Amino acid sequence: MEKIQNLYWQDQYDQKKKKVGKWIASQDGEVLINVGGYYENGLKQGLWKELFQHHFSQPQILQTGEYLNDYKIEKWKYFYKKRDLDGGFYNNEGKKIGKWIELDKVFQFISCIIYTSSSGEYNKKGMKVGRWEI
């Protein structure tokens, strides 16, 4: 799979070279309206909308949720063309917990996106437990 190409961040740094303020992504000179979030003292904080990390040149799948001190926390969801594809929860240490529906692989076939998912549970240590359905 290809990586997202020509992706740039409109960034800000403080005097100590730490990331601060609102960060916005753009691709090929166009701002990706629903992508980005805030840094404080070099750490991601609050609501972020991010491109799904295993995607290709045309970003279409987003993941959205909260950060606390650079850790994903609470409910995170995947979206494809504004359609909710579900997700799961993170604890305050950024580890997946409880029941999850994850996107495993994303394929591009002409202009059609096909994704596979699996569902199962994570324990309090962020490890997969029990039976996972594919």
Instruction: Provide DSSP, 89-128.
Output: EE-TTS-EEEEEEEEEEEEEETTEEEEEEEEEEE-TTS-E
> What is the reported pTM?
0.77
C-beta separation of 115 from 105 below 8 A: yes
CATH number for the domain spanning 126: value is: 2.20.110
27-49 pLDDT tens trace? 888 888 789 999 999 999 999 99
- Does residue 68 fall inside a structural domain? yes
- Does residue 24 fall inside a structural domain? yes
Residue-by-residue pLDDT tens, the chain, 134 positions: 344 567 788 899 999 999 999 999 888 888 887 899 999 999 999 999 998 765 555 557 889 999 999 999 999 998 887 888 889 999 999 999 999 988 766 555 444 555 667 888 998 888 898 888 87
Total number of domains constituting the chain: 1
Rounded CA separation 35/54 (Å): 16
Domain that holds residue 88: 7-133
